[in-house]
Structure 1
Amino acid sequence: MKANFFILLLMVFCFDAKASDPPSIIEVQGTDEIVPLYQQLDLSVDLNSSVINHYDYDSIQLTASLIAPSGKLMQVDGYFYQHFYALENGQLQEEGDPFWKLKFTPNEVGTWHYQLKVNDVFGADSLTNLSFECNNSTEGGFVYKPEGSNYLKNDAGQTIFLVGENIAWANQPDGTDNMAYYLQKLHDNEMNFAKLMMTPWGYQIEWWPDGLKKYGNRQKEAFLMDSIFDFSKELGIYLQLAFSIHNELNFGYPAEDWTSHPYNLANGGMCDNPWDFFSNPEAKSAFRNRLRYLNARWGYATNLMGWELLSEADNFPWYSDYKQEVAAWGNEMSSYLKTIDVNKHLISVGFALTGSNPQVWQHEDIGFTQMHIYDKVRDIEGDVFRQVGLYTQLYNKPMVVGEFGLGHIGDSLVVWDPEGIAIHNALWTSSLAGTPVAVVPWFWENYIDYLQLYPVFTPVKRFMENEALADVNYQPTHIRSRSQQSDDWQITPKYNNLSARSPSRYFQLHTTGQIVPGTDSLTQTLFGPSSLFAGLRQPPEITSNWESASYVIVETGAQALSSILQISIDGVVVLEEPATSYTEYVVGVSEGIHTIKIDNIGGGFFSLLEINKITIEDFLPGVRAFGLLSDSKALLWVHNRNSNWNYLYENGQLPEPSSGELLLPISSGEYALEWYNSWTGDIDSVGYASSSDEGLVVPISNLVRDIALKVSKIVDIEENKIVYPTLLVYPNPSNATVNFVFELDQAQDITLQLMDARGRLVYQKNFSMTRSGVMKLKWDGNDFQGNLLDDGIYFYRLIVNKDKVWNGRIVRI
């Protein structure tokens, strides 16, 4: 008996000694001597540790401490990894035991030194004196927001403009995944962006059963995401990755909602209620652990456009009661993620409703704002332009319409809009609204793929390609337009809240058919100055430029109590009389810029007046345009306002052609006008025009649908010279030889390349300059074979010793 007791004691002692052994690094694979710039150091680490849960960073961490060639210190985490291989049926099968990996992307050329260290609760081990050489490469690097701009660039200085769709998940019931199919579709149609989500039914790594800070049962999902990042990189597609979706904190489908959430107290978690997720200290600690793992696994990726902490963080029935906690959580997690992400990817939170949540958007660590627009309205594309502009102006950050749709039911879109006109139109308006990302449609499976609408995305991508958006002071602009015949404009106020004053009093009317900031800020009720609700008074003042004399009609609604309607134009009262229900009041407006104020000046404690609608007669021209304008350039989308999904759905045919004029407020000079087919992205024709003090007047004739236009100054009238600050190119336009004049500070090798409008190389010649000073190169308008090229737009690239590049356009006539 005593012998058995001593044997048991010895076994316990030995077990305790083994359980408390410090960790040790056994073998490291992938320690390459050379890693090209912005490519990956990819380490596989075999180590011993007595820790049971290798996904818990409070228990064990593998880190690399790196010293860049510049001397900068960086530290990155490793992550625990299970490898898989694909079976013939497309399903994944585990291969071997799990092990640790560590990925790092060098951003400096030269020698990097680093050491690996493993720490766990029992001790530490390290591997020192490791190094690799980073050579130059053609990789563009990481995406960032340059100072003073709301567009995006990569580390190579190239503007990155993104066009794509949501492919939130693509897993199939049989265990396979279709993401590769969708990504290939994007690539085949020249798209370069996809929004992904980690969902309980998709790629989420922390879920029931046994999921709290334990990701082993979801390693297949993580491996799938690895392959998505790799394939996207190969195709030139950038990704936005959302870590969670609102369904996880709602109720609806038990396997996918709070019922199965690992943080739920009923599942061994720490939260009694779903809203506790945002405030419970243990829940926040667990989520930070997840962030650390996700950043370790995919933070290396140069094609990661941004992180999204949670999709639709306001899509909960209890949100209004806990919006402060949600905002505080978003700010805390964004700050934490920014500290651990050495590559400083942009961070955001998704919200379903516009206006949610200023406390988040104003936080310094939130890199871009988002809104989701689902609305079955006739002019959804105009609403997109307006709302993107408002958000960008309000928060001075890049803005992304992260989800977009003509309503919430994809199957209905097949009937309402089988051609994808709403997507087409909104892609154009959003691209010219000051955002670095065109609207990102939802319904990738049962609408876009079902109808094969991918070609709808291509024209915008082609049009925006190679535009140095981040380097030009473009301003999103509702372009003034006019025509012989115009339609009436009925404006319906939509703000009706007796607990808060409407957000705005001042409004701007545009001939695009948009009222800024919007009818949702235009009050329905005018309270008298002495009324019970006098504190809610917000009589609207509406300003616009009337192209011709017109009438404004104010129609009252059911409520008209002790009210006196007063309408003023430019501060002069033109109508003042007691108001009655359901009555129209008319005032005349002359041509020019005017401000109209509509007020209720009635006395009495209950004085109020309801406004049903405001009609502006003969105000909306048949042709309208949205654009990006600088002093000497413009990118425009010109639109027959009836060419929308609603018109085709109701009439079954295209609208009648419209004609008119655009009035561009740009400086005096000679301009090249490049007209693009907005349904193919190809150049249709080239024209020329002169601007004056009035600006540039562009005639539009017989427009059935829409067209795109690039306007570029080629001659400054005041200085009478070609406008190129560092390179003189003349004559341009030209029907003969074109000269390139520039100055070299030393002998250099020069390469001149010419591309056509589709980006195809049509001419290249290398020059070896044996001296410094002013140089002149000539191009005779021929291609490689000496054949004279057709008239049109060509893009030149003048490369100086591979270090300096001049780009621009040449117009052959």
Structure 2
Amino acid sequence: MFALLTVLATSAPGIEWVEPPVKAGVPIVGRLVRTSPPDGSSQLHPTLQLAVKDPKGRSWPVVPFIYQEFRRAADKEGKEALEPVGEPQWRVRFTPLEPGTYAFALERSPQPIAVVRVARGDAGGFLRPNPKNQRWLQDRSGRPFLAVGWNLCWHGARGTRDYDDWLPRLAQAGVNFVRIWSCPWAFSVECNPGTLGRYDQRGLWALERVLSQANRLGIHVMLCLDYHGVLNIEKDYWGSNDLWTQNPYNRANGGPCAEPRDFFTEPAAKKAYQDRLKYLVARFSAFPNLAVWEFWNEIDNDLRWLDAAQVVAWHAEMGSFLRGIDPYGHVVSTSTAWSPWPELWRVPSIGLQQVHSYGQSSPGTAFAKLAQDRFALHRMPLLVGEYGVDFRGPSEEKDPYRRGLRQAVWSTALSGCAGTAMPWWWETLHARNAYGLWSALRTLLEGTGVASAAWGPLTVEFGEESGKLGPASPSAAPQSIRFFPADQWSVDRSETVALAGPASAALASRSFARFLHGSSKADVRHPIRLIAHLAEGAQIAVHVDSVSNGAMLVVKANGKEVLRRELPNKDGAWLVNKEYDETIRAPLPAGDGVLIELENPGEDWVNIEWIEVSGVRPAQTGPEGPPVFSTGIGTADRALAWILDRRYDWPAGATEATASPCRGAKVTIRNLRDGEYAARWFDTKRGTFFASTFARSRGGRMTLPAPEFREDVAVRIERRSRSSGAGGRTNR
């Protein structure tokens, strides 16, 4: 319960509670009364500044902001329309962080205009890096927080009603973190002509509604304040996103900037942006579930017409300003599309680093390595803030069974990232009812204390593809091995990859790039070299997507040409746009250890979607078991690990409807205290534990054979007390 303890004088400004105080951790919202109503000339009250004195005598600034109420309506097609209700008003929002008495007073006035008492409550929320282990996030009360996240950046025609569908389903599945954009078509604040310093109240009301709904459901929000398109002067892959012409900061629209780069240096532009930050802090900072202020989405996409050093300096200035005015100390971040940009992540006020990733081959391996490398460089939490198997669309044909997505999510959850990879294409995932992936992860994580300070990455050893070709298996039938080269400009690799069996597809995928460069790009020109045991009738198939300024495809087997094909630029463009979309085939000779080479003696690149070698005689499996990948996190006496069958390391095996069983896999986990451990094996697709085994750690090493599984498996490992019963199977 709460109590109003002060009777206000009728002539003084006062507060009428819209969302009255109840308990600590719950925002209080009030409407100012007996003061001049907003006239639209100022977005924050031009004269009144409030301060709240908490039970410990500390003073908190509370700034009145302009607020317009709206009513949701819909037209005949179901498109949301927001209809104003009443007149604009001044509001204040404040979240008490502990029980006790709070006094609201005008700044520099000893007489409070309102005094309230709040009860004890859960004053968590307000995430921040864990000071004892900055790899992780925690809430204000010190509880660990692993961000299990999705992008929900904007709504469709149904407006905020989309979030009425999405957010409850996500909460039910265990998702606790989402990302939302303020952009010209959704949650707009200062994105469109006429809104410079006169903020879009419809966009703000919609954003506040969604933040409130997410707060009730226990979902935290990373709020992206701008996206790169508002500074873009050229059309992109989709023929759009060139929105500098609509930017209110553009001089043509009455703003202070002659060109996009002026946004980061022009004093009037910086002052206007700081005014926007003041408003956003006044209106939204008291939301406990507002997790992160993200300045920009993929600002490196605009570097062709920006000065990188000026962008970094702007982040330093605005980050320091924002940290100085935000009484709740929210985390500050930004994001990039492709650039590591270490100078940006060294800005002192940035507290969370992000990576966006699309089409990444072997996402399990790549993200586990990324977690270690990026933390070593910047010593701050890392999120894969966007993930997809293709940036151009959901591309369900590339990942029909969501293996790439599942591998990205599980690897990031159990490798030391501050949260899971956050999928893009949220509308498609919702339509396909894909929530079970996250429900399964929640079941494994429940009750583990994961992401607390004592947790960290473990050293996990596993049977890996060596890249060398062993003797051919006398009993195995010839197979076809298809791999998808990494969707990258270049991969600096000169060694030959052995096609020893289906698991080799993953190694080949991450070893070679889709772009096979010609003579004009000698610095990134690397041939594709494979070696395999081949049966009679073997052949190679190369699926060509597109070419640039003319290319040539040459295939050699044991040094002898088996294919030479001119590939002229048919459409005159330099895009990956399925210009050819053609499979080119050539025969290969039978024999052991046949060397296969793909070269491009032409002028410019050819883009290869996939390569398939048929008639491959598999090599014998070594004593270390079938090739797998594994990553894990843990403490001294408990661990969580994830194991992937390399045959299904995306995009390898992506379209195989039913995965073959993986038998005989084993991993060795280091860093655990000596003693006996119970291992509970978890089916990542069904979301259930299905087997229990026991193992012993000696000298900090524990070898753990896995039960039979398909595609991937997770395991929850806990040290057994001496009083525990024996039972089960022990691996020593």
1:427 and 1:259, CA in 2 relative to 1: closer, same or farther beyond 3 A?
same
Q: Which whole-Å CA distance do the structure 2 matches of 1:203 and 1:418 have between them? A: 32
1:657 and 1:704 in contact (8 A); partners too: yes
Note the 1:758-773 alignment, pairs <5 A: none
Partner in structure 2 of residue 405 of structure 1: 388
Q: Secondary structure at the match of 2:271?
A: helix
Q: Which residue of 1 aligns with 2:51?
A: 65
- Pick from 345, 363, 366 the counterpart of residue 380 of structure 1: 363
TM-fit CA distance, 1:76: 2.4
Match of 1:326 in 2: 311
- What residue number does 1:583 align with? none
Residue by residue over 1:59-110, the C-alpha shift from the partner in whole angstroms, topping out at 9 and shown as x without a partner, is: 8154321222112222122210000122365532101100011000011222
Amino acid of the residue matched to residue 96 of structure 1? G
Deviation at 1:316, TM superposition (A): 1.2
Given that 1:640 and 1:658 are in contact with CA atoms closer than 8 Å, whether structure 2 keeps it comes out as: no
The correspondence of residues 792-803 of structure 1 with structure 2, limited to 5 A, is none
Question: Does the alignment pair 1:641 with 2:646?
Answer: yes
**What is the 5 A alignment of 1:481-496?**
481-482=462-463, 488=468
SS at match of 2:315: helix
1:744 match: none
TM-superposed CA distance for 1:423, in Å, is: 1.1
Whether the 8 Å CA contact 1:512–1:624 is kept in 2: the answer is: no
Letter in 1 for 2:449: A
Question: Secondary structure of 1:275's partner?
Answer: helix
Q: Secondary structure at the match of 1:415?
A: coil
- C-alpha distance in structure 2 between counterparts of 1:86 and 1:130, whole Å: 32
2:438 counterpart of 1:457:
yes
Give 1:18-33 correspondences, 5 Å limit.
26-30=13-17
* Cα drift, residue 168 of structure 1: 0.3
Deviations 1:748-801 (A, max 9, x none): xxxxxxxxxxxxxxxxxxxxxxxxxxxxxxxxxxxxxxxxxxx9xxxxxxxxxx
**In structure 2, distance between residues paired with 1:47 and 1:278:** 40
1:590 corresponds in structure 2 to none
- Could you tell me how far 1:620 is from its partner in structure 2? 9.2
Displacement of 1:375: 1.9
SS in 2 for 1:99: strand
Matched with 2:376 is 393
Q: 1:688 to 1:651 in 2, by over 3 A?
A: closer
- Are residues 1:663 and 2:668 paired? yes
Q: Give the aligned partner of residue 68 of structure 2.
A: 82
Contact 1:141/1:302 (8 A) holds in 2: yes
Return the offset for 1:187: 1.9
The 1:474–1:31 alpha-carbon spacing in structure 2 relative to 1, beyond 3 Å, is: closer
Q: How does 1:397-436 map to 2 (within 5 A)?
A: 397-411=380-394, 413-436=395-418
| TM-score calculated relative to the size of structure 2 | 0.72
What amino acid is aligned across from residue 732 of structure 1 in structure 2? S
Rate the CA distance shift 1:640–1:519 in 2: closer, same or farther, 3 A: closer
Post-superposition Cα deviations, 1:219-271, rounded to whole Å, max 9, x if no partner, equal 11111111101111121111111011111111348897110111100011000
Distance 1:406 1:186 in 2: 21
Matches within 5 A, 1:112-191: 112-117=102-107, 128-149=112-133, 150-172=135-157, 177-191=161-175
Indicate the residue corresponding to 2:228 in structure 1. Answer: 246
Distance 1:32 1:406 in 2: 43
User: Residue 628 of structure 1 contacts residue 634 of structure 1 at CA under 8 Å; is this kept in 2?
Assistant: yes
Structure 2 residue 329 is matched with structure 1 residue 344: yes
| TM-fit CA distance, 1:636 | 0.2
Q: Which amino acid aligns with 2:724?
A: N
Query: Structure 1 residues 478, 443: CA separation in 2 closer, same or farther (over 3 Å shift)?
Result: farther
Deviations 1:174-224 (A, max 9, x none): 766412211122123222221100000111111333211101xx2111111
The answer to which of 460-469 and 30-39 deviates more is: 30-39
Partner of 1:732: 724
Residue in 1 that maps onto 2:183 = 199
Letter paired with 2:370: Q
Q: Give the distance between the partners of 2:405 and 2:627, measured in 1 at CA.
A: 21
Q: Distance in 1 between the 2:422 and 2:170 partners? A: 12
Matching residue's letter, 2:263: F
Q: Aligned partners of 2:504, 2:148: CA distance in 1, in Å?
A: 24
Residue deviations 1:596-634 (CA, integer Å, cap 9, x gap)? xxxxxxxxxxxxxxxxxxxxx979942331111433222
The residue number in structure 2 matching 1:36 is 23
Higher relative contact order, structure no. (Cα contacts within 8 Å, ≥ 6 residues apart) = 2
Q: Secondary structure at the match of 1:178?
A: helix
Q: Following TM superposition, by how much is the alpha carbon of 1:418 offset from its aligned partner in structure 2, in angstroms?
A: 2.0
What do the CA deviations read for 1:633-689 (whole angstroms, capped 9, x no partner)?
Answer: 221001211124433345444145242321112332111112222123332233222
Q: Which of 93, 104, 112 is equivalent to 2:94?
A: 104
State the number of aligned residues: 582
Q: Which runs of 5+ in 1 are unaligned?
A: 1-23, 118-123, 503-510, 525-535, 537-557, 559-616, 716-721, 723-730, 736-790, 792-813
Q: How does 1:298-377 map to 2 (within 5 A)?
A: 298-318=284-304, 322-356=307-341, 358-377=342-361
**Residues 317/348 of structure 1: CA separation in 2 closer, same or farther (3 Å cut):** closer
**Does structure 1 conserve the Cα–Cα contact (< 8 Å) formed by 2:458 and 2:669?**
no
Measured in 1, the distance between the counterparts of 2:356 and 2:240 equals 26
Does the 8 A contact of 2:641 with 2:714 survive in 1? yes
1:733 to partner: Cα distance: 4.4
Distance (whole Å) between structure 1 residues aligned to residue 441 and residue 383 of structure 2: 16
Shift, 1:33, TM fit: 8.2
**Using the alignment, how far apart are the partners of 2:187 and 2:20 within structure 1?**
34
CA contact (8 A) 1:197 1:241 kept: yes
Distance 2:487 2:159 in 1: 50
Find the residue that maps to 2:255 and give its secondary structure. Answer: coil
CA contact (8 A) 1:199 1:244 kept: yes
Seen in structure 2, the aligned counterparts of structure 1 residues 669 and 513 have a Cα distance that, compared at 3 Å, is farther
Change beyond 3 A, Cα 1:176–1:708? closer
Q: Shift of residue 432 of structure 1?
A: 1.3
User: Do the aligned residues in 1 keep the contact of 2:403 with 2:650 (CA within 8 Å)?
Assistant: yes
TM-score for the superposition, normalised by structure 1: 0.66
**Structure 1 residue 226 corresponds to structure 2 residue 218:** no
Matched, 1:266 2:247: no
Residue 420 of structure 1 and its aligned partner are, at CA, apart by 1.4
Amino acid at match of 2:681: W
Judging changes above 3 Å, is the alpha-carbon distance between structure 1 residues 707 and 263 closer, same or farther for their aligned structure 2 residues?
same
Partner amino acid, structure 1, of 2:705: P
Question: Gaps (5+ residues) in structure 2?
Answer: 1-10, 470-482, 493-502, 517-522, 524-553, 555-620
* Alpha-carbon offset, residue 275 of structure 1: 1.3
Matched, 1:691 2:677: no
Whether contact under 8 Å (1:674, 1:710) holds in the other structure is yes
Q: Secondary structure at the match of 2:408?
A: helix
Q: Name the CA distance, whole Å, in 1 between partners of 2:360 and 2:353.
A: 23
| Counterparts in 2 of 1:400 and 1:254: CA distance versus 1, 3 Å | closer
Aligned to 2:681: 675
> 2:215 is aligned with what amino acid?
K
Shift of residue 48 of structure 1? 4.0
1:125 to partner: Cα distance: 9.2
Give the structure with higher Rg (CA): 1
Compared with structure 1, are the counterparts of its residues 494 and 84 closer, same or farther at alpha carbon in structure 2 (3 Å cutoff)? closer
Contact 1:66-1:113 at 8 Å conserved across structures:
yes
CA contact (8 A) 1:109 1:134 kept: yes
Kept after mapping to 1: 8 A contact 2:460/2:632: yes
CA apart distance, 1:452? 2.2
How far residue 273 of structure 1 moved from its aligned partner, in angstroms, is 0.3
Deviations 1:100-145 (A, max 9, x none): 110000112222222135xxxxxx9997353211220145342222
Q: Which amino acid aligns with 1:158?
A: R
* One-letter amino acid matched to 2:140: D
Q: Which residue of 2 aligns with 1:623?
A: 628
